[in-house]
């Protein structure tokens, strides 16, 4: 009797200490997606009696970061939230419970179809055996008659041949029917297997959250469970649609800002509100790039020395981390300017080091990794058109649209899809552009601007009577003609060698002088600018002369 009372007392003590267990179903309500990872908010409703309780939520994916789980709540009475514990377990998913009956039906159907296929296989085997017997029977007329057996009359042979013909036809129909049934059964089995594989697994790894609470009175509570998942991200995308205009119509450019959201967190985000934090992805470009070219003396042979010892690990680590640290320092030096969104599809909230776009409405993003595109904003920009060509590398002229970012609308780095007069011309990259900054977007080859490149002189010789020196002379001619109905600005890019030694002299030659030296801070890169009216042609003649002592040899860089 004492043991029974002790057990009852211990049970009551445990119930009072740990409280009653209450299971709660939750649904994803809001998600904030970052460059890498996302924060998910789930909502759950529970009814609690007075006392201590443990609310168990089993909906979280296995990939939820344990340390990021936190719980907030509102209740109709006083509710104290104590500890929040989590563990990864093999649990029965709510959606799989709903599909268990369907799973059993499909499994039973597959087994029935397999049994029918076995029966049809027996039918096909019977038809095959029947054909073999009929084939043996058809050989009877060719066999010699036995002296002990009576001769077969003509009528008997006629009946036998008729039977063989009918039996062969019946066997053929039986075999054909078996073949058709087998194909149909195989198709039905395959379809049923596809349906079965598409059902949610019976058990899956999920995160179970146990929330210990104390209710001061009977109440209804709304809980918010926040947690981080690593396998999710978003990337900015842009659609730039350029209308080049005509002689009387100015060019126009429409810029749509979009975002591609992908996630494999282990759960679907169905009908949720989404906020997107800033990210800085980049991609390729359009026109060919031109680098500096250097000229220097050919290095003299030197004795081979032993290999130097490798840098210390700490020094190597500092060298490896330098680019990343420089990039972070640049980011900290150039924070996003806080601005308010004006007349945009998505609301933009900025802080000193990040910005967040709040996508309007509710969005569904499957957990399969399939990209979900959302529109953030759309704006019209007045572009300035110009052409750019690097005839030494490519004689095509590329059309560029210079855009200037309006106040209060910063652009984040991302891929831009380029359309010119309704035709897709390729992709480019959009850098980080703050209000007031401008950028040139390349829109492919402009066939209405013709560029020709010719080498007028390319020779090597010597100068001087007593102390001779070597000389390289190279001169070029570039013809540019505007075939448009309106005027356009054209920039021709080229390069001249850059001396790395005082004894190597580089002099500019030719009639034309470049308007810009060291373009984009690249030594030796030069630019010739021209404003061409319709049908106007301009010729640039330019070059360089490189001289150095005769006792030396030089090498040109790339």
Number of folded domains that form the chain: 4
Is residue 270 a part of any domain in this protein?
A: yes
Long-range contacts of 170-178 (CB under 8 A, 24+ apart): 170/130, 171/127, 171/130, 171/131, 171/134, 172/127, 172/131, 174/123, 174/126, 174/127, 174/130, 175/124, 175/127, 175/128, 175/131, 177/123, 178/120, 178/121, 178/123, 178/124, 178/127
> Is 354 in the same domain as 252?
yes
pTM of the prediction?
Answer: 0.57
pLDDT at 464: 55
| Domain residue limits at 121 | 96-142+154-198
pLDDT at 263: 93
pLDDT at 101: 72
Is residue 249 a part of any domain in this protein?
A: yes
- The answer to whether the beta carbons of residues 531 and 387 sit under 8 Å apart is no
pLDDT at 346: 59
Longest dimension (CA), the chain: 133
Is residue 442 a part of any domain in this protein?
A: no
The Cα–Cα gap between 410 and 437 comes to 9
pLDDT at 473: 93
Is residue 4 a part of any domain in this protein?
A: no
> Is 86 in the same domain as 184?
no
Interacting residues of 285 by C-beta distance below 8 A, sequence separation 6+: 428, 429, 442
Side-chain-side CA neighbours of 460 within 13 Å: the count stands at: 5
pLDDT at 262: 93
Is residue 82 a part of any domain in this protein?
A: yes
pLDDT at 152: 52
Is residue 6 a part of any domain in this protein?
A: no
Low-confidence ranges of the chain (pLDDT < 50): 1-18, 279-285, 305-335, 337-344, 352-353
DSSP 8-state code for residue 141: G
Note the helical H segments in 139-294: 154-198
> Is 173 in the same domain as 264?
no
pLDDT at 194: 84
> Is 286 in the same domain as 211?
no
Is residue 444 a part of any domain in this protein?
A: no
> Is 348 in the same domain as 272?
yes
Is residue 394 a part of any domain in this protein?
A: no
> Is 419 in the same domain as 287?
yes
């Amino acid at each position: 009797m004492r043991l029974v009372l002790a057990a009852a007392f211990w049970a009551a003590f445990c119930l009072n200490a740990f409280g009653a267990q209450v299971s709660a179903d939750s649904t994803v309500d809001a998600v904030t997606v970052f460059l890498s990872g996302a924060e998910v908010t789930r909502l759950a409703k529970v009814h609690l009696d007075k006392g201590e309780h443990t609310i168990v939520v089993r909906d979280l994916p296995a990939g939820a970061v344990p340390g990021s789980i936190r719980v907030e709540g509102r209740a109709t009475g006083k509710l104290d939230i104590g500890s929040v514990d989590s563990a990864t377990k093999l649990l029965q998913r709510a959606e799989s419970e709903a599909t268990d009956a369907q799973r059993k039906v499909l499994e039973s159907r597959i087994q029935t179809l397999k049994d029918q296929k076995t029966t049809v296989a027996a039918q096909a085997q019977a038809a095959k055996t029947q054909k073999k017997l009929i084939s043996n029977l058809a050989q009877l007329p060719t066999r010699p008659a036995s002296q002990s057996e009576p001769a077969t009359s003509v009528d008997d042979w006629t009946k036998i041949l008729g039977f063989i013909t009918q039996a062969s036809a019946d066997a053929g129909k039986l075999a054909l029917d078996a073949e058709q049934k087998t194909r149909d059964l195989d198709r039905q089995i395959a379809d049923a297997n596809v349906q079965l594989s598409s059902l949610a697994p019976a058990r899956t790894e999920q995160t179970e959250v146990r929330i210990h609470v104390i209710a001061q009175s009977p109440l209804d509570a709304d809980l918010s469970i926040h947690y981080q998942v690593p396998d999710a991200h978003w990337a900015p995308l842009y659609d730039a649609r350029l209308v080049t205009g005509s002689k009387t119509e100015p060019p126009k450019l429409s810029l749509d800002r979009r975002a591609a959201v992908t996630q494999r967190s282990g759960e679907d985000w169905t009908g949720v509100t989404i906020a997107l934090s800033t990210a800085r992805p980049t991609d390729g470009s359009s026109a060919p790039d031109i680098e500096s070219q250097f000229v220097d003396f050919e290095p003299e042979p030197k004795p081979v020395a032993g290999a130097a010892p490798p840098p210390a690990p700490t020094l190597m680590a500092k060298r490896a981390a330098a680019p990343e640290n420089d990039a972070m320092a640049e980011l900290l030096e150039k924070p996003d300017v806080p601005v308010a969104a004006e007349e945009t599809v998505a609301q933009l909230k900025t802080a000193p080091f990040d910005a967040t776009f709040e996508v309007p409405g509710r969005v569904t993003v499957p957990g399969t990794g399939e990209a979900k595109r959302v529109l953030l904003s759309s704006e019209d920009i007045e572009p300035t058109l110009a052409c750019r060509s690097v005839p030494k590398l490519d004689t095509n002229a590329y059309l560029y649209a210079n855009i200037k970012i309006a106040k209060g609308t910063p652009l984040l780095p991302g891929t831009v899809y380029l359309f010119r007069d309704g035709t897709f011309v390729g992709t480019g990259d959009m850098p980080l552009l703050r209000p007031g900054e401008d950028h040139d977007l390349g829109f492919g080859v402009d066939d209405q601007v013709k560029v020709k490149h010719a080498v007028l002189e390319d020779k090597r010789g010597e100068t001087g009577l007593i102390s001779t020196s070597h000389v390289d002379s190279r001169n070029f001619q570039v013809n540019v003609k505007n075939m448009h109905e309106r005027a356009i600005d054209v920039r021709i890019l080229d390069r001249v060698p850059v001396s790395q030694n005082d004894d190597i002299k580089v002099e500019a030659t030719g009639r034309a002088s470049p308007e810009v030296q060291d373009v984009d801070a690249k030594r030796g890169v030069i630019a010739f600018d021209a404003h061409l009216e319709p049908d106007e042609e301009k010729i640039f003649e330019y070059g360089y002369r490189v001289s150095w002592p005769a006792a030396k040899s030089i090498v040109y860089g790339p």
